[in-house]
């Protein structure tokens, strides 16, 4: 019996990377999982699709549905929730993982990219949480997890590192997401809805991060595995600890705090630790 048997989860940005890993781990624990992103069955440059995530979950014994949508388009937010409800019923868990990660100098950041970054990284999580909250309230419990980034931390300087100069837009959206997390946790606490954010300490070398080629060397050395991110997410989306809400958490410190081992995405094996070099190579 899995820890998410009977639960319905919606995971955004789940065609590859962290979102796909979380969706798979949740499916392996018995959840019915709706996954959404733009890449239903292909992407022009990156591997990984929604259909592949769904196939993995179904092959490992659970149910999943792919919902192709563009989170930069506000007209898609309601339909994502509606299609999840049509497939599986009320949503118990929302993971806001999708992100637009633009790393650009301040003077080269266009109005369009500024808008897209805030629409995907801030507005979509806000509105999706508003849409699923009544369903969680009716069931008497629910979980919202916002995947954040260490770029939310204010840069130190002067002198300033080059990375701090190009991560301003992305970091600003994640800082907004974290403040939204703590406020939403307070607003929904009486409805027994747990709301937290979680970020990697350094980096997670996903397909997207590798393609961007902007991750600092120290972050690569501290890179946490997809399995660790998925395990920490599972911990935050199964907790009933009344104190474990409204938290701005980081992957490895959270796992250490909870004394929780990292397992493979199918849940069958325990791994050596949370770092990328302590997890199996992706297949």
**Active-site residue numbers?**
148-149, 170, 174
CA distance 178 to 125: 11
What whole-number distance in Å separates Cα of residue 66 and Cα of residue 5? 20
Structure tokens, 18? 């962290």
DSSP per-residue letters across 151-193: GGSPPP-SS--HHHHH-HHHHHHHHHHHHHHHHHHHHHGGGTE
Helices (runs of H) and strands (runs of E) counted in the chain: 11, 7
Q: From the centroid of its chain, how far is CA 172? A: 17
CA dihedral (162, 210, 126, 145) positive or negative: negative
- Comparing CA positions, the residue from 109, 184, 197 lying closest to residue 145 is 197
Which two tokens mark 97?
Answer: 């993982």
d(CA 18, CA 23): 9
Decide: 67 and 36 in contact? Cβ < 8 Å.
yes
Within 13 Å of residue 162, how many CA atoms lie on the same side as its CB?
4
Distance CA(278)–CA(276), nearest Å, equals: 5
* Angle, vertex CA 224, rays to CA 223 and CA 230, nearest 5: 150
Contact of 69 with 79, CB cutoff 8 Å: yes
């Amino acid at each position: 019996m899995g820890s998410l048997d009977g639960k319905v989860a919606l995971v955004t940005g789940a065609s590859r990377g962290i979102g796909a890993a979380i969706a798979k781990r949740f499916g392996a624990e018995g959840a019915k999982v709706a996954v959404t992103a733009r890449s239903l069955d292909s992407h022009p440059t990156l591997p990984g699709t929604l259909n592949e995530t769904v196939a993995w979950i179904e092959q490992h014994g659970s149910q999943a549905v792919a919902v192709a949508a563009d989170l930069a388009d506000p007209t898609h937010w309601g339909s994502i929730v509606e299609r999840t409800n049509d497939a599986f019923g009320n949503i118990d868990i929302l993971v806001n993982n999708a992100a637009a990660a633009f790393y650009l100098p301040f003077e080269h950041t266009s109005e369009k990219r500024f808008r897209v970054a805030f629409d995907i990284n801030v507005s979509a999580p806000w509105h999706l949480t508003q849409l699923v909250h009544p369903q969680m309230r009716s069931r008497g419990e629910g979980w919202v997890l916002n995947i954040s980034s260490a770029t939310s931390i204010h840069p130190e300087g002067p002198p300033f590192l080059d990375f701090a100069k190009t991560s301003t837009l992305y970091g600003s959206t994640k800082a907004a997401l974290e403040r939204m997390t703590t406020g939403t946790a307070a607003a929904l606490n009486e409805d027994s809805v747990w709301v937290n954010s979680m970020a990697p300490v350094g980096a997670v070398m996903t397909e997207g991060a590798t393609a961007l080629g902007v991750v600092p060397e120290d972050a690569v050395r501290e890179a946490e595995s997809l399995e660790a991110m998925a395990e920490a997410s599972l911990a935050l989306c199964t907790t009933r600890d009344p104190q474990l809400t409204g938290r701005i958490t980081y992957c490895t410190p959270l796992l250490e705090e909870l004394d929780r081992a990292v397992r493979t995405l199918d849940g069958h094996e325990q791994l050596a630790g949370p770092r990328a070099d302590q997890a199996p190579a992706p297949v």
